[in-house]
Structure 1
Amino acid sequence: MTDTTIPAVEDTWVEQGQEISTPEQLQQYVSQLRAAASHMQTGLGRAAWGALTGRSWLDTPGDERPNVPTILSEHLEMTVTPAGMTATDATLRQSLATLLVALDAVDRATLTTWLAQVAAQDPNRTA
């Protein structure tokens, strides 16, 4: 994939964000952000799987397809670089792990925002 194959998109996140003026609009915006981050995490996890195993997600039988936490734990996360792994490979794996964890942090933060809005409206409402 080259940069020329990535379609140019407008900065809709900024455009949408600058038009928000109510808590309800903020809640909808945060929901959209959460969905986008979730899609990015899934896509990046599947791309990492393909790059690390040499077999694309689609070419992997369904019962062998790991989820993102499994990809992280079995292929990316490391506290010590395994013997024989090159610095380039270790850097790639560490950066992919960091991106996937950051996307998970976005998911958790957006959930917290939603919970805060619910609690502000009715502190005794069940989540």
Structure 2
Amino acid sequence: MTDTTIPTAEDTWVEQGQEVSSPEELREYVAQLRAAVSHMHTGLGRAAYGALKGHPWLETPPGELLNVPEILRQHLEMTITPAGTTAKDATFRQSLAALLVALDAVDRATLTVWLAQTAAQDPDRTA
């Protein structure tokens, strides 16, 4: 895959964000953001797995498929660089792990926004 095959996105997040004028519109905007971030998180995890294993996610036998937390734990997160790992490989893995963790943090933050909005409307509502 080259840079020319990656579709470019318009800056719709900015356009949508500047039109929000009510708590309900904000709630909808945050829900859309959360869905987009969730898709990015899953897609990046699968792409990282494919790059590290040398074959696409879709060609992985069902018994070998990992979810994103397992990919992070088994292939990306490092507190100590494994023996024989090049600096280039360690940096690549660490940067992928950091990006996946950041996407997870955004997902958690959007959930917090939803909970705050819900609690502001009805503190006793079941979450």
TM-score (norm 1): 0.97
Poorly superposed stretches of 4+, deviation over 4 Å: none
**Structure 2 equivalent of residue 88 of structure 1:** 88
- Aligned-residue Cα RMSD (Å) equals 0.8
Q: CA deviation at 1:9?
A: 2.4
**Structure 1 equivalent of residue 46 of structure 2:** 46
For 1:28 and 1:57, the matched residues in 2 are separated by 32
Matches within 5 A, 1:21-60: 21-60=21-60
Unaligned regions of 5+ residues in structure 1, if any?
none
Q: CA deviation at 1:3?
A: 1.8
Q: CA deviation at 1:6?
A: 2.0
1:70 aligns to 2:70 (yes or no) = yes
For 1:9 and 1:97, the matched residues in 2 are separated by 24
**Structure 2 equivalent of residue 19 of structure 1:** 19
Identity among equivalent pairs (%): 76
1:123 aligns to 2:123 (yes or no) = yes
Q: What secondary structure does 1:124 align onto?
A: coil
Q: What secondary structure does 2:58 align onto?
A: coil
Count of matched residue positions in the alignment of Structure 1 and Structure 2: 127
Q: Deviations over 1:40-97 (max 9, x none)?
A: 0000000000000112100001221100000000000010101100000000000000
For 1:89 and 1:7, the matched residues in 2 are separated by 27
For 2:3 and 2:75, the matched residues in 1 are separated by 27
Amino acid at match of 1:43: G
Unaligned regions of 5+ residues in structure 2, if any?
none
For 1:36 and 1:2, the matched residues in 2 are separated by 22
TM-score (norm 2): 0.97
